[in-house]
């Protein structure tokens, strides 16, 4: 077997163009699986990590290989691995301390991946782990939504939104979503009940009495979300700031808890004003949940929505396209 591999890495935070480098293939530990990566998808966390936006939460050594989810083939297993064998087609989201899927190989803990949905190819499967786990945890673990609940999913035609609309419909929810007029047909086909063209109307002018908001935008859109949620409801955000409660639960030091508490004062004010709970979501890897998502995909209840598949050699153009924020669904990088 080869000893080195190609990988897309940054040498320092703020490096806008990761460089293609040759690095050692990782050695799997006792609980690890070595995967030959066939495809990986691009996610907003990749830009945040590259730009140093998660430094308050995560500490990385440089050079750092980017990339947060993958699909590929098992080529080696650790001595204590019981769930997989060589040749298995798998997909996953490595734990945050072990990212690096924009590479030809990765060593992943067996708990952080699952067998790929059998009806998908590697590129389709690679589009799902991060958006799938994030949304599953938002809906099941945090919001604990019930059939008939009304939810606003921001940016319905994006990578998160296209998955979230479909999962929400499998759970019996009434779904409103924001998108541009050009994407109305797409989100309607995925199951959205109420489509708001953000070019022509503000969601907080037309929606009222919702049970929850799934925020992927942050900023002013997040602050306006509280207005449409009924008392006792909740706002879950992927793009807002962590609050003091999250910092405590995440085990951050007191000074960071205080800093996040101060930074989220406008959010706390709206929590009290509207009697709505705010949750910042920092997704946790889970092979178990990926297996459940695979079942939904195999049952035809959820399908991947892919904007484009690009070659590893075109990585930078894919990164730029994704960062521009106008992709319909996911952008996938074909590694192998």
Supply the pLDDT for residue 283: 93
Which residue range is the domain that position 105 belongs to?
4-127+304-334
Q: Is the CB of residue 73 less than 8 Å from the CB of residue 90?
A: yes
Number of H helices, E strands in the chain: 12, 16
Helix axes 129-136, 287-298, angle to 10 degrees: 100
pLDDT, tens digit (0-9, with 9 covering 90-100), for 131-164: 999 999 999 999 999 999 999 999 999 999 999 9
Answer yes or no: do 112 and 229 share one domain. Answer: no
Answer yes or no: do 183 and 276 share one domain. Answer: yes
Q: Is the CB of residue 142 less than 8 Å from the CB of residue 148?
A: no
Does 286 fall in a domain?
Answer: no
Does 285 fall in a domain?
Answer: no
- Whether residue 46 is predicted with pLDDT greater than 70 in this model: the reply is yes
- Whether residue 2 is predicted with pLDDT greater than 80 in this model: the reply is no
Nearest to 10 by CA among 103, 89, 97, 86: 103
Most distant pair of Cα atoms in the chain: their distance: 61
* Angle made by CA atoms 233, 235, 240, in degrees to the nearest 5: 160
Query: How far apart, in whole angstroms, are the C-alpha atoms of residue 257 and residue 263?
Result: 10
The rounded mean pLDDT for the chain is 96
- Whether residue 69 is predicted with pLDDT greater than 90 in this model: the reply is yes
Q: What are phi and psi of 257, to 5 degrees?
A: -60, -45
- Whether residue 282 is predicted with pLDDT greater than 70 in this model: the reply is yes
Answer yes or no: do 97 and 21 share one domain. Answer: yes
CATH number of the domain enclosing 101: 3.90.180.10
User: What would the mean pLDDT of 320-331 be, rounded to a whole number?
Assistant: 91
Cα 274 → chain centroid = 28
- Whether residue 325 is predicted with pLDDT greater than 90 in this model: the reply is no
| DSSP state for residue 228 in the 8-state scheme | G
Query: How far apart, in whole angstroms, are the C-alpha atoms of residue 46 and residue 41?
Result: 10
Q: Is the CB of residue 89 less than 8 Å from the CB of residue 266?
A: no
DSSP3 helix / strand / coil % (the chain, rounded to 5): 35, 25, 35
Strand order in the sheet with 229-237: 194-197, 174-179, 150-153, 210-215, 229-237, 277-280
Half-sphere exposure of 107 (CA within 13 A, CB side): 14
* Residue linked to tokens 């799938």: 132
Confidence of residue 1 (pLDDT cuts 50, 70, 90): low
Percentage above 90 pLDDT, the chain: 91
Domain count along the chain: 2
Does 290 fall in a domain?
Answer: no
Helix axes 129-136, 159-170, angle to 10 degrees: 50
Supply the pLDDT for residue 15: 96
Neighbours of 304 (CB within 10 A): 24
Does 292 fall in a domain?
Answer: no
pLDDT, tens digit (0-9, with 9 covering 90-100), for 78-134: 999 999 999 999 999 999 999 999 999 999 999 999 999 999 999 999 999 999 999
Does 67 fall in a domain?
Answer: yes
Answer yes or no: do 203 and 96 share one domain. Answer: no
Is the entire prediction scored with pTM above 0.85?
A: yes
Answer yes or no: do 85 and 143 share one domain. Answer: no
Supply the pLDDT for residue 297: 98
- Whether residue 250 is predicted with pLDDT greater than 90 in this model: the reply is no
Distance, first Cα to last Cα, the chain: 16
Neighbours of 59 (CB within 10 A): 8
User: What would the mean pLDDT of 174-197 be, rounded to a whole number?
Assistant: 97
Confidence of residue 247 (pLDDT cuts 50, 70, 90): confident
Answer yes or no: do 143 and 208 share one domain. Answer: yes
Neighbours of 156 (CB within 10 A): 29
Answer yes or no: do 111 and 166 share one domain. Answer: no
| DSSP state for residue 183 in the 8-state scheme | G
Q: Is the CB of residue 150 less than 8 Å from the CB of residue 211?
A: yes
């Amino acid at each position: 077997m080869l000893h080195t591999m190609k990988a897309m890495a940054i040498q320092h935070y703020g490096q806008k163009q990761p460089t293609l480098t040759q690095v050692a293939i990782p050695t799997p530990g006792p609980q690890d699986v070595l995967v030959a990566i066939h495809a990986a998808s691009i996610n907003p966390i990749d830009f945040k990590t590259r730009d140093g936006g998660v430094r308050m939460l995560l500490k990385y050594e440089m050079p750092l290989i980017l990339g947060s989810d993958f699909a590929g083939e098992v080529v080696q297993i650790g001595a204590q691995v019981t769930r997989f064998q060589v040749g298995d087609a798998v997909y996953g989201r490595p734990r945050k301390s072990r990212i690096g899927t924009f590479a030809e190989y990765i060593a992943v803990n067996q708990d952080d991946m699952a067998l790929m949905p059998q009806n998908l190819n590697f590129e389709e499967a690679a589009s799902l782990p991060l958006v799938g786990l994030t949304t599953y945890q938002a809906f099941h673990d945090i919001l604990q939504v019930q059939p008939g609940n009304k939810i606003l999913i921001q940016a319905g035609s994006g990578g998160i939104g296209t998955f979230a609309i479909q999962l929400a419909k499998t759970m019996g929810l009434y779904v409103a979503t924001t998108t541009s007029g050009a994407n109305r047909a797409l989100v309607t086909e995925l199951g959205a009940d109420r489509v708001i063209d953000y070019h022509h109307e503000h969601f907080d002018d037309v929606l009222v009495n919702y049970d929850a908001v799934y925020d992927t935008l942050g900023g002013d859109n997040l602050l306006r979300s509280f207005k449409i949620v009924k008392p006792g409801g909740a706002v879950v955000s992927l793009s807002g700031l962590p609050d003091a409660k999250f910092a405590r639960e995440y085990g951050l030091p007191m000074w960071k808890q205080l800093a996040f508490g101060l930074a989220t004062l406008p959010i706390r004010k709206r929590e009290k004003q509207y009697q709505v709970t705010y949750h910042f979501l920092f997704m946790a890897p889970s092979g178990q949940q990926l297996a459940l998502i695979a079942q939904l995909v195999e049952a035809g209840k959820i399908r991947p929505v892919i904007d484009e598949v690009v070659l590893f050699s075109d990585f930078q153009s894919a990164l730029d396209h994704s960062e521009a924020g106008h992709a319909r669904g996911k952008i996938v990088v074909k590694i192998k």
